Structures are given as structure tokens and as C-alpha cells.
Structure 1
Amino acid sequence: MTIKSESVWNYVEPPSIDGLIKVTGYFLSYFICLFLASRFLPSITAKSPKKTYQLTGLLLYLILTVLIPIGYYTNNLSLLFIIRNYISFFIVINIFAILFSLYLFKRSEAVRTAPNANRLIDYWHGREKDPMLFGVDLKVFFYQPSLLGLALVNLSLAEAQLTLYGAFTPGMICYQVFWYLYLLTHYIREDFMLWTFDIIEDHFGFMLVWGDLIYVPFLYSIAGWFVADNVQQPLSMTWMACTLILHFTGHYIFRESNWQKFDVRKYGSDVKIWGKKVQLLEGRLLLSGFWGIGRHLNYTGEILLYLSIALCSGTISYVPYILPFSLFILLSQRASRDDQRCRKKYGDKTWNRYCQHAKFRMIPFIY
């Protein structure tokens, strides 16, 4: 990958001892403030199939939505330090993920002394499903530094483009709007995540800690670097129109399909989908909404959403397209595995009846 002489990549400073110490202070302050906010801010009570949670994510997100523009408008805020210290942040947060996972590994004496325990697997997957610290559920809390960290990295890239080139490109405006809406729709229905496999079944160890702190904010923002530098190849009106249509179509399918299934699981068949009474096959398989059209259209919507974000960079590089392409491969395989698992769960006869109704796996009339 070639870095242009004038590029946001040039803002990135090599790590140094002083820089690492400074970044450690930044990150720990950020982490502790979010933890205290999760503990003491007014919360929304939400139930999962196994326990009750206190959620503060939406309020946190709305507070940042107000404070960050005020900070920029009054010239009291700059997020360029995130880009300048990007490598140092990557190093420090990786070390923190390793050490915090070690704390999780060591904190449960009962599990630590369990017979036939595999220490490496225990460290990777975690020993506790729902570790609590000072009244805060850690597995749910770690979504906050993860997703809000992604938002801050994205904003720092926008500031870098404005500082270096003097204006925002249409691609950067779309990129910021897309991610803002993605996070907003997540937090509006934050209780949805309480019904996901990660929260209900997974233990909390290095795999999820690293995924939250590194994978999401660093990998998911990678397209933003190329969006920020794409000032020499402006996006055409046709490209922009297709990107907007693709995003809002994919975003709607992704969220609405997940929310449809979630609402039926949470509230039962009394809810309505698209204004109609819910239909269930044998009282178990949802035949309404997107789930009556295809069996995994939520995956399709997710792929289209991330593809639209990559399209904000134009054709400046193939790198932004790695995420949607890898998701297409992974989610296609997961859809196939999901079908096999459901066939075993519901039986051949019932599953075949469902497949006759929801004929398509991920792409209507094609796949």
C-alpha cells in the first residue's frame, strides 16, 4: 500500500516510550469514565432470557452526540490525537486486552481449580458467562468502549481530512452519516443484543475482550482512512446515488429482520409485522416479514451495509472492500451451517415445509 506524500497516514507518529505512557493515560481515562457512566448514569431496565440488565448505552451515545459538536464549535475539542497516536493506541489497547483477560482468568477461584480444565482454552473463551464488577456486567459494558471507540476513530479521520484538505468530501459525509446511523439504530434497540448468542451463551474471555477493544474500532474503521484520502478521485453522482440506495436498503433489511425475530421472541405472537398478525409454523418458525421471504436475509442486509461503507472510498484501494468480502464468505458459510443446525433442531419434515415458504437462503430468486 503506497502512502501519498500528502496523506492522513502522515499524521501517524511512530510509537515512543513517552507516547505510549501518554496514550495509556488517554485510554485508561476513557475506559474508567465510560465504566463510571455505565454504573451511575440513569439506566434503562431490560430483560434477557436469563437476567435483567441496566443499559446506559443510548444515553451515553446521545450525550456524546451533543458534547462533541459543542466541543468542535467552541474550539475546545480536537480528536486528531487519536490519528497521531494510532499505532500507540493499538499497542496499548492490545496490552490492556491481554492483562484484563488475565484478570478475568484469575478472578474465579472455583473455576480455576476445576478438574481437567484447559488453561489456554479457559483464557481464550473465559471462565465466567456474566462477570460483574462493582455492579456492572462486564460483557455488556465492553460494547461501550468498543462502539464509541469506533465512533471516535471515525470522527478523528473526518477531522484529519478537513485539516489536511480543507473540506469534507461527499464520500466522507456519507461515511460519517452511515456510521452514525448504524450506531444510533444499535442503541435505540440496545436490548436486542441481550438476546444474542454472545450475551446468553458465550463466556467472557480474551476472544470477546480483544474483539470488542481491537477488532471493532480498528478494523471496522479501516475504510475511513481511504475515504479521508480520496480527494483526487471524487465520487460520481451515479456512484453516490447507488451507494446511498445500497446503504439504506441494506441497513433497513439488517435491522428490521433482526428486530422482527427479536420482537416475536420477546413478546410472542401478539406483535404485528408490517401491520399484519404474525404467522408461525408449528408455533416456532417465523413466516412473517423478511423471515417469510428468506431464511437469512439479515446476513444479506449486513453485507450490503458494510459494502456501502466501503463504497464511500471509491476505487482508491481494494483494502476497504476486504471487510464486506470477508463477511460475505463467513456469513454464507454460517447461513449454510444455520440451515443444517435448524434441520436437526426442527426435523426434516418441519424444516422442509419452512423452506418451501422461505425459499431463498440469502438472495431472493438467486440463492
Structure 2
Amino acid sequence: MDLSFLIHALIPSWNSVSLLAGFFTYLAIVGSILPGKLVPGVLLSDSTRLHYHCNGLLSLFLLVGLLWISAKMEFVSLTAIADRGLELLSTTFIFSFLVALVLYFSGCKSKSKGSSLKPHITGNLIHDWWFGIQLNPQFMSIDLKFFFVRAGMMGWLLINLSVLAKSIQDGTLSKSMILFQLFCALYILDYFVHEEYMTSTWDIIAERLGFMLVFGDLVWIPFTFSIQ
């Protein structure tokens, strides 16, 4: 793989943007309407608590089912992610960068006194952009921190399944690939079966949402865990 090919492969396309936008749109819609356990978060310093709609497992099964049916009807290609892996990587990185900027500027403008949205500004732009300003920022009533980690875990499985489909298509499926897919799938399924416990992790209860967490959830988890 030469440098020019790598650079060209990393350039985002409208297809990769559409895939990412469609994925986030799906998660936002089904996360709001599918049934699931409503889990109270930890008590915050102002004696309030958030509530989390834990329907990630059902959302995941529905998504995989819809993709399988769509592939059977030749509406989508199961290898689309594998074919555009580097494009999706750069697109997701740019998205994470921009989201962190929006979170920074919106956080700076916040006048909230509540624990979730109260701005914590050090005056160091890089520090505040990296570590975040608000604890639990929301967009259209969606808790972004919980949303992004769910997207990252699902994205990891989707990348794996697309690589699996590519291996089958190319006739290169091996025992090691089968074992890799199996162990990763079990890990991810275990996460969603016990998704409610994520609401009490350090990331959720203590760390503010900045580039570090956004990048970690949307880029680091799916794109590095899938190349183990």
C-alpha cells in the first residue's frame, strides 16, 4: 500500500458520510421508541439524577436483522463498511473533532447551574476541548455520552461483521477469523445485556464530554478493537 493510495483512501466521500449519518439517525430514533429498561443514574452533586433508556440489545438485534434483510433484497452490501473502512475512519474522526468543538462552544455559552450542564472552564482552550466542559450534554433530549458509547460498541460489531462478509466473499475465511468474530461478538453482546451497569461507570458519572471521550467512543473502540 503506497502513500498516495493511503491518502486517497482516507478522503471522506458522500457515501461514507451517508453511512455514518444513517447509523446515527437509526440509533437516535430506535433509542427513543423501542421498549427498554429505564435505569436511574447515580445521584449527582446537586441531588438530581439522569435516567437512561437501556434498549441497546434490542436496537442491535433490530439493526443486524434489518441489514441482513436489506442485503438479501440487494438494497445494501454487507461489505460496504469493509470496502470503505479508511473512508469511514477519517469521516468519523472529522465528525468527532467537530462534535468536540460544538460541545466546547455550546458549553462555554451555558448558563446552567445544574451538575449535568454546568460549565467547568479552566481557560485553557486545548484542555477544555480535550476533556470537555459539561458533564452530561444533550442534543434533542439525547444524552450524548451514553449515545456515543452505544454507537461505538455497535460500530465495532458492524465493522467485524462486514469484514466477515468480505472474507466469505473473497474465499479467505479462516478458523482464526471465526474465533475472532465469535469472541468479539460475545463480548459485545455481554455489554448490551448488562448495558445498565454502564450508567455507573467513571466515564458516565465523572468525566466531562470532550474530544477525548468522543474520539474514544466513536473512533478508538470500533476502529482499533476490530483490528486486534
Shorter-normalised TM range: 0.7 to 0.9
TM-score of the two chains, using structure 2 as the length reference = 0.83
Q: Distance in 2 between matches of 1:92 and 1:45?
A: 32
Q: Distance in 2 between matches of 1:87 and 1:116?
A: 35
What residue in structure 2 maps to residue 29 of structure 1? 22
The reply on whether 1:15 has 2:14 as its aligned counterpart is: no
What residue in structure 1 maps to residue 188 of structure 2? 183
Question: 1:39–1:135: 8 Å Cα contact kept in structure 2?
Answer: no
Q: Distance in 1 between matches of 2:28 and 2:69?
A: 23
Q: How many residue pairs end up in the alignment?
A: 212
What residue in structure 2 maps to residue 42 of structure 1? 35
Question: 1:13–1:85: 8 Å Cα contact kept in structure 2?
Answer: no
- Distance change in 2, residues 1:28/1:68 (3 Å): closer
Once the two structures are superposed, the pairs formed by residues 139-150 of structure 1 within 5 Å of their partners are: 139-150=145-156
Question: 1:79–1:152: 8 Å Cα contact kept in structure 2?
Answer: no
What residue in structure 2 maps to residue 6 of structure 1? none
Identify the range of structure 1 (183-192 vs 23-32) with the bigger mean alpha-carbon deviation: 23-32
Question: 2:119–2:134: 8 Å Cα contact kept in structure 1?
Answer: no
TM-score of the two chains, using structure 1 as the length reference = 0.53
Q: What is the CA RMSD across the aligned residues, in angstroms?
A: 2.6
One-letter code aligned to 1:43: G
Q: Which runs of 5+ in 2 are unaligned?
A: 44-48, 112-117
Q: Distance in 2 between matches of 1:116 and 1:168?
A: 51
What residue in structure 2 maps to residue 317 of structure 1? none
Once the two structures are superposed, the pairs formed by residues 81-120 of structure 1 within 5 Å of their partners are: 81-108=80-107, 109-110=109-110, 117-120=123-126
Query: Tell me, what secondary structure is at the counterpart of 1:78?
Result: coil
Q: CA deviation at 1:94?
A: 1.0
Query: Tell me, what secondary structure is at the counterpart of 2:215?
Result: helix
Once the two structures are superposed, the pairs formed by residues 114-133 of structure 1 within 5 Å of their partners are: 117-133=123-139
Q: CA deviation at 1:57?
A: 0.9
Identify the range of structure 1 (21-30 vs 75-84) with the bigger mean alpha-carbon deviation: 75-84
What residue in structure 2 maps to residue 194 of structure 1? 199
One-letter code aligned to 1:215: W
Q: Tell which has more relative contact order, 1 or 2 (C-alpha 8 A, sep 6+).
A: 2
Q: Distance in 2 between matches of 1:115 and 1:157?
A: 42
One-letter code aligned to 2:55: T
Q: Which runs of 5+ in 1 are unaligned?
A: 4-11, 224-367
Q: CA deviation at 1:71?
A: 4.1
Q: CA deviation at 1:42?
A: 2.3
Q: Distance in 2 between matches of 1:100 and 1:130?
A: 14
Q: Distance in 2 between matches of 1:193 and 1:208?
A: 14
- Distance change in 2, residues 1:127/1:116 (3 Å): closer
Aligned-residue sequence identity (percent) comes to 28
